[in-house]
Amino acid sequence: MKDTAGYITEDGRQIGGTLMEMRNITLRFGGVVAIQDISFDIREGEVRAIIGPNGAGKSSMLNVISGFYTPSEGEVWYQGKKRPPMKPYQVARQGVARTFQNIALFEGMTVLDNVMTGRLTHMKAGIASQALWWGRASREEVENREKVERVIDFLEIQNIRKTPVGRLPYGLKKRVELARALAAEPSLLLLDEPMAGMNVEEKEDMSRFILDVNDEFGTTICLIEHDMGVVMDLSDRVVVMDYGKKIGDGTPDEVRGNEDVIAAYLGVPHD
């Protein structure tokens, strides 16, 4: 079986044991097979990317990990245990935070409130205490606010703290979404096309933030991207998907040399 000792990356970071493992995942929608018998693992502390051309099933895979889809076949193992079918909010409470390709923020709320919702998974005081027992709830509120302020500082969005999210430009919304996910102090951070629709400068900013998150907090990150260049620079290991199948898995260099991958990206018909 898989070793649990981890490995050391090119830039000298120690990567830990397996955090999440997908075992023979298949996902069907009616007759359509979105994911076909895919297995791979995500290790603690690494930046893992899933890449592939449009329609390869990357987003479906991310939705399986985050509980938005339940796989038709196969098992999801998380933190050493087999994960039973779960609702997305339950997955979130297990420490898996995510962002969305098309940005799903609470548009009517301020940036601060949006990021504060990221702390919901850490809510200890129950509904009753929230409403009545102010002591505990308000102490928790202060703690949450402190954590959230660090994230706001980290992502350099202090100037828009009190701005309603609906008024922000696209690039900043993406950053706020990342902030909300980070506020959850996740064990696993899922990023669905974090650079989609960004210009070069915004992409560079976002790349820097992703690397800094991994570096500063040691957060395990799994991201989807179709911009090969960005992915290769960011990630430690890459899964390549095409037509719902896994066609490559390894370090960026290994994947770059893989013929199936080249074919998929250059559009050479495979048979």
Report the greatest alpha carbon distance in the chain: 66
Number of residues that bind other proteins (CB under 8 A): 55
Determine, following the binding rule CB under 8 A, whether residue 127 of this chain makes contact with other proteins: yes
If one counts every other C-beta atom within 10 angstroms of the C-beta of residue 225, the result is 24
Q: Whose CA is closest to 246, among 63, 14, 56?
A: 56
**Which amino acid, residue 15?**
I
Nearer to other proteins, 186 or 248 (CB): 186
Q: Shortest approach of other proteins to residue 92 CB, angstroms?
A: 4
Instruction: Give every CB contact of residue 199 below 8 A, 6+ residues apart in sequence.
Output: 171
Piece in contact with other proteins (CB under 8 A), picked from 33-41, 74-82, 84-92, 229-237: 84-92
Determine, following the binding rule CB under 8 A, whether residue 212 of this chain makes contact with other proteins: yes
* Binding test (CB under 8 A) with other proteins, winner from 7, 23, 36, 109: 109
If one counts every other C-beta atom within 10 angstroms of the C-beta of residue 85, the result is 9
Q: Shortest approach of other proteins to residue 184 CB, angstroms?
A: 7
Determine, following the binding rule CB under 8 A, whether residue 146 of this chain makes contact with other proteins: yes
* Binding test (CB under 8 A) with other proteins, winner from 31, 201, 266, 271: 201
* Binding test (CB under 8 A) with other proteins, winner from 33, 123, 196, 228: 123
Nearer to other proteins, 193 or 242 (CB): 193
Piece in contact with other proteins (CB under 8 A), picked from 52-60, 76-84, 199-207, 236-244: 199-207
Q: Shortest approach of other proteins to residue 11 CB, angstroms?
A: 7
Nearer to other proteins, 53 or 171 (CB): 171
Piece in contact with other proteins (CB under 8 A), picked from 40-48, 72-80, 124-132, 255-263: 124-132
Residues forming contacts to other proteins in the complex (CB under 8 A) are: 11-12, 66, 68, 87-90, 92-93, 97-98, 100, 104-109, 113-114, 116-121, 123, 127, 130-131, 137, 140-141, 144-146, 149-150, 152-154, 156, 158-159, 161, 180, 184, 200-201, 204, 208, 212, 215-216
